[in-house]
């Protein structure tokens, strides 16, 4: 016969499961916004610590940091978004009007063995341009329609950003108390997680953004069209391991040579090699050396899988999830070795 204590435990477990299910559906729509707020808090925590050392008040320092960061983001968005939209439109017009078939025929005539091949290639290229523009327009239209939801999510980002800056130490202590490890293992997990997070956020993302900005400066002074759009593309590829900014600036240099802009091409080539590539090759190892050894292949898998699952934020989330999983596996193996020895 089931005793009263078992019944109470079953009822309590039922209510906990129900609450967890409701909590999941409540948090799901704003999960990415909350995560973005945490990433912002981690990224700008050094600035907050500096301000805190001056004002000696966590609430005031967090408010000042939030104001500075949100102000910078708002100003950059205000001035660059219209320009970026114009450059995207100009790039679409240029791609539509560009005679790619004629260009390739001049340099790779062996690819076009018949008129049918030429026509098929032209149709495939036009379909690609039209479909890419259609997808981009649909995404932009969705953003306009969902503007109220986006504003609410930005409010969630701000709230999480502020309270994570102010109460970050409490969150870490709560995490320590929640982990099912002994004190030594918990401290090691927290330390390794900090190293990996630092490597991914600063060693990959921040360095990638700086590399993209440096490349954008080179594009601008070389007189390249759509320099802002190319700069953003360079930022994205610079974050990805095994790829790098060369994937953008090398074709641009080649294009300048082919169109007769020899001076601009030589300038951009020298600038990209000396400034962009040199900065990347010096800064990346310095910051990545502070993270746990994570194979590049796993980092790339985490990044690609994260982007497919979470969109642009997957650039950060994917590698972090893989890294944390490896840390847990390492700690598990080490604890079993100690028990058996």
Q: Residue 10 and residue 251: Cα distance in Å, rounded?
A: 65
Same-domain pairing of 74 and 100 = yes
Query: How confident is the model over 78-91, as a mean pLDDT?
Result: 82
Residues 101 and 188 in one domain: no
Half-sphere exposure of 142 (CA within 13 A, CB side): 6
Is position 19 within any domain? no
Q: Are residues 64 and 187 in the same domain?
A: no
| Residues 159, 207 share a domain | no
Query: Does residue 292 carry a pLDDT above 60?
Result: no
Does residue 139 have a pLDDT over 80?
no
Does 258 map to a domain? yes
pLDDT at position 215: 93
pLDDT at residue 26 in the model:
81
Residues 322 and 189 in one domain: yes
Q: Is the pLDDT of residue 3 over 70?
A: no
Q: What percent of the chain has pLDDT over 90?
A: 9
Integer angstrom CA distances of residue 286 from 247, 293, 340: 23, 13, 37
Whether residue 31 is found in the same domain as residue 172? yes
Question: Which position has the token pair 């990346």?
Answer: 284
Looking at every residue in the chain, the average pLDDT score rounds to 79
Rounded CA-CA distance 153/100 in Å is 42
Mean pLDDT of 119-139: 75
Answer yes or no: do 201 and 146 share one domain. no
Helices (H), the chain: 4-27, 31-43, 45-55, 58-97, 100-107, 115-145, 147-166, 168-178, 183-198, 207-221, 227-239, 246-258, 262-271, 278-288, 296-310, 314-340
- Which of the listed residues 178, 204, 228 is the one where a domain comes to its end? 178
Nearest alpha carbon to residue 125 among 100, 103, 153, 142: 100
Looking at residue 338, its pLDDT comes to 63
Q: How buried is residue 219: exposed, middle or buried, by Cβ count under 10 Å (0-12/13-18/19+)?
A: buried
> Domain ends where: 178, 213, 245?
178
Query: Domain for residue 261, yes or no?
Result: yes
Confidence band of 300 (pLDDT split at 50, 70, 90): confident
- Which pLDDT score, from 0 to 100, does residue 4 have? 64
Classify residue 291 as left (phi > 0), alpha (psi -120 to 50) or beta.
Answer: beta
Instruction: Yes or no: say if 48 and 165 are a contact pair by the CB < 8 Å rule.
Output: yes
251, 241, 298, 24: CA torsion to nearest 10? -100
Residue 45: inside a domain = yes
Q: Are residues 165 and 231 in the same domain?
A: no
Q: 143 and 43 in one domain?
A: yes
Rounded Cα–Cα distance for residues 27 and 147 (Å): 19
Q: Does position 296 have pLDDT exceeding 80, yes or no?
A: no
Q: Are 42 and 165 in contact (CB under 8 A)?
A: no
178, 212, 239 — which closes off a domain? 178
Tell me how many domains the chain contains: 2
- For residue 267, what pLDDT is reported? 93
Stated pTM of the model? 0.73
Q: Which of 42, 62, 73, 67 is nearest to 202 (CA)?
A: 42
Asked whether residue 120 is domain-assigned, the answer is yes
Residues 314 and 279 in one domain: yes
User: Confidence band (pLDDT; 50, 70, 90) for 335?
Assistant: low
Mean pLDDT of 134-162: 80
Same domain, 50 and 158: yes
Q: What is the pLDDT of residues 185-205, one digit of tens each?
A: 777 777 777 777 777 777 778
Q: pLDDT of 30-73, one tens digit each?
A: 888 888 888 888 888 888 889 888 888 888 899 999 999 888 88
Range of 219's domain? 183-335
Query: Is 44 a member of any domain?
Result: yes
Give a yes or no: residue 222 inside a domain: yes
pLDDT in tens, 201-257: 777 788 888 999 999 999 999 988 888 889 999 988 888 766 788 889 888 998 888
* Residue 91 within any structural domain of the chain: yes
In a shared domain, residues 162 and 298: no
């Amino acid at each position: 016969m089931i005793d009263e204590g078992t019944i109470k435990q079953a009822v309590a477990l039922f209510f906990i499961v129900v609450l967890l299910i409701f909590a999941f559906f409540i948090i799901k729509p704003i999960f990415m916004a909350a995560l973005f707020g945490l990433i912002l808090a981690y990224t700008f925590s050094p600035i907050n610590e500096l301000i805190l050392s001056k004002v000696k008040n966590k609430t005031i320092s967090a408010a000042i940091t939030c104001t500075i960061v949100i102000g910078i983001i708002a100003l950059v968005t205000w001035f660059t978004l219209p320009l970026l939209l114009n450059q995207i439109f100009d790039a679409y017009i240029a791609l539509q009007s560009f005679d790619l078939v004629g260009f390739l025929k001049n340099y790779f005539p062996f690819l076009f063995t018949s008129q049918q091949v030429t026509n098929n290639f032209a149709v495939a290229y036009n379909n690609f341009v039209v479909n890419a523009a259609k997808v981009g327009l649909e995404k932009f239209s969705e953003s306009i329609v969902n503007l109220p939801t986006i504003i609410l999510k930005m409010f969630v980002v701000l709230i999480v950003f502020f309270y994570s800056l102010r109460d970050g130490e409490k969150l870490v202590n709560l995490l320590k108390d929640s982990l099912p490890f002994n004190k030594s293992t918990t401290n090691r997990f927290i330390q390794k997680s900090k190293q990996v997070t630092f490597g991914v956020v600063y060693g990959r993302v921040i360095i990638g953004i700086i590399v993209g900005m440096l490349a954008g400066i080179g594009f601008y002074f070389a007189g390249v069209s759509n320099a802002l759009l190319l700069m953003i593309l360079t930022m994205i590829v610079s974050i990805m391991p095994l790829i790098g900014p060369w994937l953008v600036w090398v074709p641009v240099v080649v294009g300048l040579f082919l169109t007769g802009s020899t001076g601009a091409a030589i300038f951009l080539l020298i600038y990209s090699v000396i400034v962009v590539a040199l900065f990347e090759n010096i800064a990346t190892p310095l910051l990545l050396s502070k993270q746990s050894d994570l194979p590049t292949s796993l980092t790339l898998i985490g990044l690609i899988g994260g982007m497919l699952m979470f969109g642009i934020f997957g650039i950060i989330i994917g590698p972090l999830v893989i890294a944390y999983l490896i840390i847990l596996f390492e700690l598990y193996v080490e604890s079993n070795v100690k028990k058996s020895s």
